[in-house]
Amino acid sequence: MASSNSKSKTLKKLVSNPLGRNIATWVSLGLIIFSMFAGWFTYSLVFYAELEKSESFEKQLVQTVQIQAAVGVFANNKTIVKDVIQGLLANPNIQWVRISSNDDFIEEQGKLIENSKLSRYALYSPVDNTEIIGEIHLLSEYTLINQEAKKYAFNLAGFLIIQTLILAIVLLTFVHFKLTSPITQLSLKMSSIEAGNDVRLEVDEIHKNDEIGLLCQSANQFLETAEKAIKKANKLARTDPLTKLNNRRAFFELAQSIEHQAKRYKWPYSLVLIDIDYFKKINDTYGHDIGDNVLVTIAETITVFIREVDIAARMGGEEFMIIMPETSATAAAILADRLRIQFSGLKIQADNSSISVTASFGIVDCDAEKEGISYYSILADKALYLAKENGRNRVEVYQHDIIQP
C-alpha cells in the first residue's frame, strides 16, 4: 500500500511539473505513432500469409485435373473437358471455370463476376509436355479474397499514411507554437539585446508556466542584474570615489553637451576652477586621512551651493571645476565668492584641534561660437594662477584684454 502511494505521489509530481507534462505528451504521441505502424505491419504479415495459403491450395486443386484437361483439349473432346469443369465446380470454393484451346475451343461453366481478376493456368501437350495448347481460367473465392485483401491492405495503408500525415501536421503545429516559435522569438530578441537595444522578453499566458516562460523570466532577471551592474560600473568609471563628484573624464563629456547647447542657442557659460590653498601642507602636517576629509567637505559644500543645471567635478588632487550654463563671468564670480566665504568658515576636525581651509578661484566666461571647452579651461587655469599670485583665498576673473593665454 505504501509503495502504491509512493508511485502515485511520484506520478503527480511528474504531471504537475511542466517538463513532466511535456515528456508525457511526447512519449504518448510517440507510442501512438508506433502502435499504428506496428498494427498495420503485423496485420499485413498475417493477412498476406493467409492469402499465400489460399493461392497454394488453389494451385494444388488445379494440378490434380491439369493433365486430364490437357488431354481433353488435345483430343478436342468436350466430354472430358466438361467432366474436368464439373469436377472443379464440385469444389464449393470454385465459382467459374473456363477451359480454352489455341484453336478457339472453349467450354465454360459457373457464375462469372464482371471485372474480377481471374487465375490462369497453362495446359501443356500430353505428347511432349512443352507446347502450350490451352489454358484454364478460374474464378475462386480465394481469388476474390486475394483481390479484396490487397485492396483492403492498400486502403488501410493509405488511411494510415493520411492519418499519420494529419497527426504529423498536428504535432508540428504543436511543436511550432509550443517550442519552435517561442525559441525563434527568444533568439531574435537576444540578438537585439546583443546589438545594444533595450529589450525585455515578454511572456504570454500560453508559455507563462512552461520552460519557455521560465527561460524568459530567468533571462529578464539576468538582464536586469546585468543592466544594474553596467550602470553601476559606468557610474564608478565616471565618479570620483572619494568625493562622489564627477571625475575629469565625466566632466568633459558632460561639458561637451553644454557647449553644444550654448552654441546652438547662443547663450554664454562660465567655468569656475577651484584650488584648495596649501593643501600639500595640510597633508604633510595632519596626514592624508585629514586631507581626504578636507576634500570631501569641500565637495559637499560645492554640491550644496551650485544649481541643478551646474556640473561640478574633481579634476584631480585638490582641484575642482564647475561649469555653469547660461551664466556670465560676473554671476559666476558671485557664486565663487560665496563658496570662498563658506570655505573660510569651515572647521575640520584634526586630532584634538580643528583646521581652517581657504581656496582660490579662477573664472572665465566662455563663447561657444569662438572656442571649445579645452581652450577655456586653460584660461580658467590662468585666472586661478593670478589668484594664487595675488595672495590666495580670492576670486579672479579672466580678463581677455589683460591676461594673455
Query: 395-397 and 359-366 as β-strands: parallel, antiparallel, unpaired?
Result: parallel
Secondary structure tally for the chain: helices H, strands E: 11, 11
Describe the crossing of helices 18-74 and 2-16 by its angle, rounded to 10 degrees: 90
d(CA 204, CA 156): 42
Helix (H, G, I), strand (E, B) or coil at 136: strand
Three-class secondary structure assignment of 163-198: HHHHHHHHHHHHHHHHHHHHHHHHHHHHHHHHCCCC
User: Which 8-state DSSP code applies to residue 403?
Assistant: S
- 318 assigned to active site: yes
How would DSSP label each residue in 217-248?
A: HHHHHHHHHHHHHHHHHHHHHHB-TTT-SB-H
d(CA 22, CA 40): 27
φ, ψ of residue 29 to 5 degrees: the values are -60, -40
Q: Which of 107, 135, 259, 318 is catalytic?
A: 318
Question: Cell numbers at residue 61, please?
Answer: 486443386
Residues serving a catalytic function are 318
